[in-house]
């Protein structure tokens, strides 16, 4: 704070430059430089015993092109696409319908969505172990209804991981769609109906177009984390499903190969920023809808 009394307007305006120092210092020191270091690290060699050897190499990137790792990337992308597709399919109508409720119910529904969000993500997944376990709740129900004869043994399978992903990511989609559907001007829909559009056509040409930023934002918000949620694949998929996230973690803990893990992260990061860029191109906005 300056002690001198400032009177001129322009001085007042520039008077709070000092306030930004913490933000600038912190962001540069702990966000910008570390991310730059990650890129640098991806071109370095791993040292013989422990740590990093500062000699330039492209080997880490060449190694990603090996079939084993390319396949891992492909598997991760496939899982992320599958999960995001279902999240959009379930979450879009949910958020859209929620926005049409009255104020009291809107608040109640938001609360209902947020409560699981506030419990631990891990603990929520634990519930699914109970459901999927061999002779667990799902098997009991299906066998009780005589739909299946023996336990399905769904735990530690691909479908279990997909369900876990959908479950963890759904709130992001719902909130993103909800926040853009809430801003939707109902009179526009009515106008199109009055002008003779069918309900379906009115939805498709007016509502859907206007809520598209929310949907796309939800897609970005669920696709990006789904690439790195290795603990879901770990807990619900056993060791059978290997994702990029799992490989990065493994390279660090077991392989002790930081540069290779850095190269994998760098590729993942580039993929991510391409997606965000695409989102900005399509919607023409910089802020992701429903992010906060």
* Beta bridge pairs of residue 52: 46
Residue in 53, 78, 119, 274 binding another protein, rule: CB under 8 A: 119
By the rule CB under 8 A, 101 interacts with another protein: yes
Residue in 116, 152, 182, 203 binding another protein, rule: CB under 8 A: 116
By the rule CB under 8 A, 269 interacts with another protein: yes
Residue in 58, 70, 130, 191 binding another protein, rule: CB under 8 A: 130
Restricted to residues 170-189, the positions that interact with another protein (CB under 8 A) are 170
Residue in 43, 73, 86, 128 binding another protein, rule: CB under 8 A: 128
Stretch in the footprint of another protein (CB under 8 A) among 55-63, 66-74, 106-114, 208-216: 106-114
Stretch in the footprint of another protein (CB under 8 A) among 63-71, 81-89, 210-218, 242-250: 242-250
SS3 53: strand
Residues 264 and 244: beta-carbon distance below 8 Å: yes
Residue with smaller CB distance to another protein, 143 or 212: 143
By the rule CB under 8 A, 272 interacts with another protein: yes
* Pairwise CA distance, residues 284 & 291, whole Å: 16
Residue with smaller CB distance to another protein, 70 or 112: 112
* Pairwise CA distance, residues 102 & 279, whole Å: 31
Q: C-beta of 142: minimal distance to another protein in Å?
A: 14
How many CB atoms within 10 Å of residue 99? 21
Residue in 257, 258, 283, 289 binding another protein, rule: CB under 8 A: 258
Residue with smaller CB distance to another protein, 51 or 159: 51
Residue in 169, 248, 257, 289 binding another protein, rule: CB under 8 A: 248
By the rule CB under 8 A, 255 interacts with another protein: no
Length of the chain: 292
- What is the DSSP secondary structure assignment for residue 51, as one 8-state letter? S
Residue in 100, 150, 198, 285 binding another protein, rule: CB under 8 A: 100
Residues 274 and 224: beta-carbon distance below 8 Å: no
Q: C-beta of 134: minimal distance to another protein in Å?
A: 8
* Pairwise CA distance, residues 259 & 53, whole Å: 9
By the rule CB under 8 A, 104 interacts with another protein: no
Cα–Cα nearest to 228, from 244, 247, 239: 244
Restricted to residues 212-231, the positions that interact with another protein (CB under 8 A) are 224-225, 227-231
* Pairwise CA distance, residues 77 & 2, whole Å: 54
Number of residues in contact with another protein, rule: CB under 8 A? 92
Cα–Cα nearest to 270, from 224, 217, 221: 224
Burial of 211 (0-12, 13-18, 19+ CB in 10 A): buried
SS3 45: strand
Q: For 185, what's the count of Cα atoms within 13 Å in the CB-facing half-sphere?
A: 4
């Amino acid at each position: 704070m300056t002690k001198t009394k400032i009177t001129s307007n322009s001085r007042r305006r520039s008077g709070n430059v000092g306030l930004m120092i913490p933000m600038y210092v912190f962001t540069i020191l702990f966000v910008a430089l570390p991310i730059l270091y990650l890129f640098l690290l991806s071109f370095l060699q791993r040292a013989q015993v422990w740590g990093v050897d500062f000699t330039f190499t492209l080997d880490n990137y060449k190694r990603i092109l090996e079939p084993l790792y390319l396949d891992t990337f492909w598997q991760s992308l496939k899982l992320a696409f599958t999960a995001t597709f279902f999240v959009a399919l379930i979450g879009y109508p949910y958020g859209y319908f929620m926005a049409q409720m009255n104020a009291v119910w809107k608040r109640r529904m938001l609360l209902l969505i947020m409560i699981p969000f506030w419990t631990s993500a891990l603990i929520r997944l634990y519930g699914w172990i109970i459901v999927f376990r061999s002779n667990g709740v799902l098997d009991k129900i299906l066998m009780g209804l005589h739909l299946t004869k023996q336990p399905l043994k769904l735990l530690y399978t691909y479908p279990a991981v997909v369900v876990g992903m959908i479950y963890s990511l759904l709130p992001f989609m719902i909130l993103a769609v909800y926040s853009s559907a809430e801003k939707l001007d109902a009179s526009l829909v009515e106008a199109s109906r009055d002008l003779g559009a069918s309900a379906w056509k009115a939805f498709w040409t007016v509502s859907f177009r206007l809520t598209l930023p929310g949907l796309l934002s939800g897609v970005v918000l669920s696709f990006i984390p789904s690439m790195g949620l290795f603990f879901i694949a770990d807990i619900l998929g056993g060791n059978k499903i290997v994702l990029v996230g799992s490989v990065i973690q493994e390279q660090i803990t077991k392989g002790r190969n930081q540069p290779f893990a850095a190269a994998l992260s760098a590729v993942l990061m580039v993929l991510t920023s391409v997606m965000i860029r695409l989102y900005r191109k399509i919607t023409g906005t910089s802020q992701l809808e429903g992010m906060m």
